[in-house]
Amino acid sequence: MAARQRMTVSPAQGKGGWILSIDGAANTYRTKEQAVKAGASKGRQNGNAQLVIKGRNGRIQSERTYGGDPRRTKG
């Protein structure tokens, strides 16, 4: 199974705006909504990705996975 691509949306420190980091590369967006939409689009294209969305305080608000996400536990 191919490695899962990890993407993170977080606030741009001191610059305003939001950063979408994809495996070390970063793009800056004016709004959080734009960054999340771009990350979701990339996740769907890749087919095996994880999108972590952080708030202004730096804490994780939500996490999304795209593609096959096999469960190892019942439930």
Answer whether residue 75 shows pLDDT above 60: no
Residue 69 pLDDT: 58
Residue 39 pLDDT: 93
Tokens linked to 2: 């191919």
Answer whether residue 73 shows pLDDT above 80: no
Tell me the pTM. Answer: 0.81
Whole-number Å distance between alpha carbons of 56 and 2: 32
Whole-number Å distance between alpha carbons of 28 and 51: 16
* CB-CB neighbours of 22 under 10 Å: 18
pLDDT digit string, tens, across residues 10-57: 998 877 899 999 988 899 999 999 999 999 999 999 888 899 999 999
Residue 61 pLDDT: 95
